[in-house]
């Protein structure tokens, strides 16, 4: 099992079918609502993030891209966090919780919490600070 991660800032939500099921959407991304914008900022970036499944040995690094999908619409930004396909998100299912945050060393961490596990926080429809 992986060691506990201490966050300096993070957000959590429950995955919808569109976010978790590749048959519903092949986009591999999370919408960047105000909580994610507060966490990630407004500047576009690419970086490697550590993806892991809480309570398991499954973890890997994958590239993420934070960007405004509507850069040509100055008054209507729509930020998204795109991630490349990876083993952790291949294991995601509707109803699982996902935490996105920076650890105390400023590394971006994305943690999947499977539904039915002790650390699952129930249904969280919208992103909230964790």
| Gap between the Cα atoms of 121 and 86, Å rounded | 23
Q: For residue range 5-55, what is the model confidence (pLDDT) as tens digits?
A: 899 999 999 898 888 877 766 678 887 778 899 999 999 999 999 999 999
- Strands (E) in 1-96, as ranges, are 7-14, 29-32, 45-53, 59-68, 79-83
Q: Where do the structural domains in the chain lie, given as residue ranges?
A: 7-113
User: Which pLDDT score, from 0 to 100, does residue 25 have?
Assistant: 64
Confidence of residue 103 (pLDDT cuts 50, 70, 90): very high
Q: Residues 83, 28: contact at Cβ < 8 Å? A: yes
Beta bridge pairs of residue 80: 31, 67
| Gap between the Cα atoms of 28 and 80, Å rounded | 10
HSE at residue 84, side-chain half, CA atoms within 13 A, is: 10
- In this prediction the pTM is 0.89
CATH code of domain 7-113: 2.40.330.10
Over the chain, what is the mean pLDDT? 88
């Amino acid at each position: 099992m992986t060691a506990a991660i201490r966050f300096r800032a993070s957000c959590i939500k429950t995955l919808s079918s569109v976010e978790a099921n590749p048959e519903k959407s092949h986009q591999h991304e999370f919408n960047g609502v105000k909580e994610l914008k507060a966490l990630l900022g407004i500047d576009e970036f690419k970086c490697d993030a550590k993806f892991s499944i809480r309570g398991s040995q499954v973890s890997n690094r994958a590239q993420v891209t934070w960007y405004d999908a509507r850069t040509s619409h100055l008054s209507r930004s729509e930020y998204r966090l795109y991630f490349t396909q990876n083993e952790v998100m291949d294991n995601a299912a509707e109803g699982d919780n996902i935490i996105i945050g920076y650890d105390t060393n400023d590394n971006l961490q994305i943690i999947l919490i499977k539904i039915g596990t002790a650390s699952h926080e129930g249904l969280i429809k919208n992103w909230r600070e964790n």
